[in-house]
Structure 1
């Protein structure tokens, strides 16, 4: 079971601005924990997301010399991807690809088809810099905007996107709408249909529903899960009332119960948790 820690998702909508040096210290602590990947920053417009405007400065001061944890950065267009590709420590370039036309326009100011063309260019660019693309299927389990949604639409876009050579997809429950039957249906169809691809779950959740979401995805074959310590944050482009991220603590708890081995250093995790509490309360 891979756990991807997402501080970028946790703090991108947080106010006021967290000092850059504090972010660097926190991220370097997260690198000691044993996560598979850390979604640490974004190369997007600083006007839209001022909290992540220091991503380029941060990445140059992260110590990856003593860890197997990989770094992932989010981009919204080819310009952002080109900037991210200049930094050797970054292994993965993440792109939020929504199957909701309304949300794709809201999140990246581009239609779905225009976004597909963006991804095509990014997918061609990244291997030249030894980067891999990770696609987040936003509104992967439904959406609140009235756009048509079905598992068949999800499968259609994954088939098209995987044709670009992309091998990792994370289904994003962007506003916490995922129902057990949809979670099970999607993963139980996708994993056998595309055995060469890796599928993950990026759940947003309220405290009462976290366990059932993880359990349902896990039982359907999913082994890649995104989380954020304390369940903090959510997508500020989705709606006014944010539904929090999946708490990383809960993912670790689930992994301890269901996996024979766990790579997470619990002592370092607790240090990181206390550091994050301080970051968001100062």
Structure 2
């Protein structure tokens, strides 16, 4: 096990896409800036998807343009890696025009979820990836891959490991540099995580695997720890636990960035993130989206206030 991990910040995309209150581009840029000031190095900043279906992601091009201006001015380091989600060739064209150097594609491990989420079968989604990968190669853009519902589907129940392994191999062969294995509805347990990742390591290099856990049933940290012990060193998280999935009834947000950092720092594992700054961001983001965030550490901080009695 390495003594450092990489946290990919999902708050600006997977986090905001399920929020009722739509943030304007300036607020989203400020969100990104504060994350970077807290030490974040990898940020998924938005998505080129239909504003009709995901209005929260409207204005992604404007957010990217304003962020690039901050980079040019020196307000943001050139070393920060920004990415955007693209569902198809049209989204990829928009990404190219925006000037981003990394995109993410996504596929489900459940046919029902694929149809609900992106209105196509799993095979059709992979067909859509072909022109995206060709354009990425032509324009020297990195591509990250997401596999959702790897442990369970809200419509089909438990997802067979064999199917996940097959799709992970298929995505790896496409040429993505990293595959994020997603527990989209927060149904996974440690036993499942250990079993699946042990098998995944045999078909995809572990350095190309990442974990994406939602905390619907309070198991995300335990699942992250289980994956880490098997050699996974990249994890997706969302500031404050923002998010959820509009196509997965009852699913809460990604595991909170602050909670993940608190756990790893307690183990002596470096994240490169400033926990105090992340905690300070919690109230700022909650004010912008107009409701409290589910993060534990973000609410109470590092220590209990003096004089408090814990029962």
Normalising by the smaller structure, the TM-score range is over 0.9
Task: Give the corresponding residue for 1:242.
Answer: 251
Aligned length: 280
Q: 1:128–1:196: structure 2 CA closer, same or farther, 3 Å change rule?
A: farther
TM-score, structure 2 normalization:
0.84
Match of residue 104, structure 1, among 111, 114, 120:
114
2:177 corresponding residue in structure 1: 167
2:204 to 180, 194, 204: 194
Cα distance change on mapping 1:161 and 1:210 into 2, 3 Å: closer
Distance in 1 separating the partners of 2:122 and 2:219: 30
Provide, for residues 124-150 of structure 1, a one-character-per-residue CA deviation record: whole Å limited to 9, x for no partner. 111222211111101011213227722
Q: Name the CA distance, whole Å, in 2 between partners of 1:205 and 1:80.
A: 29
- Show structure 2 runs of 5+ residues with no match: 292-311
Higher CA-based Rg: 2
Aligned to 1:6: 10
Contact 1:2–1:35 at 8 Å: present in 2 too? no
Deviation at 1:243, TM superposition (A): 1.8
1:278 maps onto 2:282 in alignment: no
- Does the CA-based 8 Å contact 1:100-1:147 persist in structure 2? no
1:116 shift after superposition:
0.7
2:91 paired with 1:87: no
Paired with 2:206 and 2:220, the residues of 1 have a C-alpha distance of 28
Q: TM-score, with normalisation over the residues of structure 1?
A: 0.92
Match for 1:23 among 20, 28, 37?
28
Q: Distance in 1 between matches of 2:246 and 2:106?
A: 13
In structure 2, the residue corresponding to 1:134 is in which secondary structure? strand
Q: Structure 1's 148 and 3: CA in aligned 2 closer, same or farther, altered over 3 A?
A: closer
Q: 1:129 to 1:275 in 2, by over 3 A?
A: farther
Runs of 4+ in 1 over 6 A off after TM superposition: none
Q: What is the Cα deviation at residue 197 of structure 1? A: 5.2
> Cα–Cα, structure 1 residues 266 and 212, in superposed 2: closer, same or farther, change >3 Å?
closer
Tell whether the 8 Å contact from 2:21 to 2:290 is kept in structure 1 after alignment: no
Tell me which moved more, 228-237 or 148-157: 148-157
